[in-house]
Structure 1
Amino acid sequence: MPVIPLLLLLFFLSACSSAEKKSLIHAFKFADKNRQELKRILEQYQEDSPKFAASHFIIRNMLGKQSVDTNSIKASQPYFDAWATYFEKYGRYKNGAHYVICDSINRLHPNKRVHTRYIPDLQHISADFLIRHIDYCFHIWQQYPWCKDIDFDTFCKYILPYTTSNCYWEYASDFFLQKYAELRDTVQQKSYKEIGAILSKDVDRTFAQNWVLLNYKIA
């Protein structure tokens, strides 16, 4: 590790709790060949205290996080293609439609089995992705009026995370920015809690069903 980033890391560790210090040290050790990417993040933000603290938060919380190896689930593509075709033709899935689609694919491809493999995030996620993600999250936090009452700890816990469960999508922020563009322009005067409730309701209605489909397919 170069001298400057090492001194910077040691200086920041002095302000952390013992548990946070231990987590960061373990994260760097576990990153193995990918630790150079983590160093690049610290170097990027060594002159920006809030973003440096945010990058520390992300790195130490990457412990235990893993992502699906897309190559290991390529055999599942026919399911996604069939669901997309159905949705384009009929709109929302009717009751039981996803089971019929899955059964049909199983009959057409009886030997296709998905053996999902996971890769630790610390060992493969790039500095470019996380730097872009951190910058974008700070932009969102500082741009919108409903974020003015969100403190740094809340920001780190609920805006900054790049992943959920065992997957992350590199272009998720672009997708959701476009998906909720109309909503964004109509809720300027609402609080972040009210907006969160609106989004939660939409997620429950729209995306929860797709999660059920995915679980059914993999099982």
Structure 2
Amino acid sequence: MKTCFLFMILSILTSCSMQKTKGVSLEQALSMSGENQAELEKVLEYYKNDSIKLEAARYLIRNMPFHFSRMEYFVSPEGERYVPDIRNFTDNQAVKRHCDSLQEKGYTIRKEIVYDIKALHSDYLIRNIDLAFQAWQKPWAKDISFEGFCRYILPYRAEVEPASDM
């Protein structure tokens, strides 16, 4: 029983310490962004006169190195990239038939990881920050702290789906 209790306490403490160390500093995140650094700096500049939105933007940028999307696409025999729009198909079998026909024509499937820190543009982040603040003003969110807002309302994605303006 003591061993089980000790294990539970250690698990909880480890979990708590991992939560605190997840984010990196703003400077580290910006340096990791490579050619996308100017886009992230545009977001910070845009909110320079709004301290709470600026802090939200900093929060997002500090956590962006840990987020990415998985992209799958076809490459034609000529090297052209092609992504089928699955909304144009009636069911999963139609998608499968289309993909099979592409492979029969020599198309290959490529999988790619796209890191948010290197890819998301300033206009996308600004739009999502503004929409998150609008949502925070709704009656259902009136008791949510800024920390809760940053963790649960502000994020622009839930998993590894591609970033979207939908």
TM superposition score normalised by structure 1: 0.54
User: Any unmatched runs of 5+ in structure 1?
Assistant: 1-17, 88-97, 173-219
Q: Higher relative contact order by CA 8 Å / sep ≥ 6: 1 or 2?
A: 2
User: Any unmatched runs of 5+ in structure 2?
Assistant: 1-19, 76-80
CA deviations on 1:104-148 (whole Å, 9 max, x unpaired) are: 335433243321222221122111111111111101211x21111
Counterparts in 2 of 1:39-188, with a 5 A limit?
A: 39-68=41-70, 75-77=82-84, 80=86, 84-86=88-90, 98=92, 100-109=93-102, 110=104, 111-142=106-137, 144-172=138-166
Query: Are residues 130 and 70 of structure 1, via their aligned partners in 2, closer, same or farther at CA, if it must alter by over 3 Å?
Result: farther
CA distance in 1 between partners of 2:62 and 2:123 (Å)? 18
CA distance in 1 between partners of 2:39 and 2:89 (Å)? 39
CA RMSD of aligned residues (A): 2.8
CA deviations on 1:11-64 (whole Å, 9 max, x unpaired) are: xxxxxxx95884322211111121112222222222212111111110011013
Query: How many corresponding residue pairs?
Result: 140
Whose strand proportion is higher, 1 or 2? 2
Query: Are residues 123 and 72 of structure 1, via their aligned partners in 2, closer, same or farther at CA, if it must alter by over 3 Å?
Result: farther
TM superposition score normalised by structure 2: 0.69
CA deviations on 1:160-199 (whole Å, 9 max, x unpaired) are: 1112322333322xxxxxxxxxxxxxxxxxxxxxxxxxxx
CA distance in 2 between partners of 1:138 and 1:61 (Å)? 18
Percent identity over the alignment is 29
Question: Conserved in 2, the CA contact under 8 Å of 1:72 and 1:117?
Answer: no
CA distance in 2 between partners of 1:168 and 1:61 (Å)? 17
CA distance in 1 between partners of 2:150 and 2:34 (Å)? 25
Amino acid at match of 2:115: P
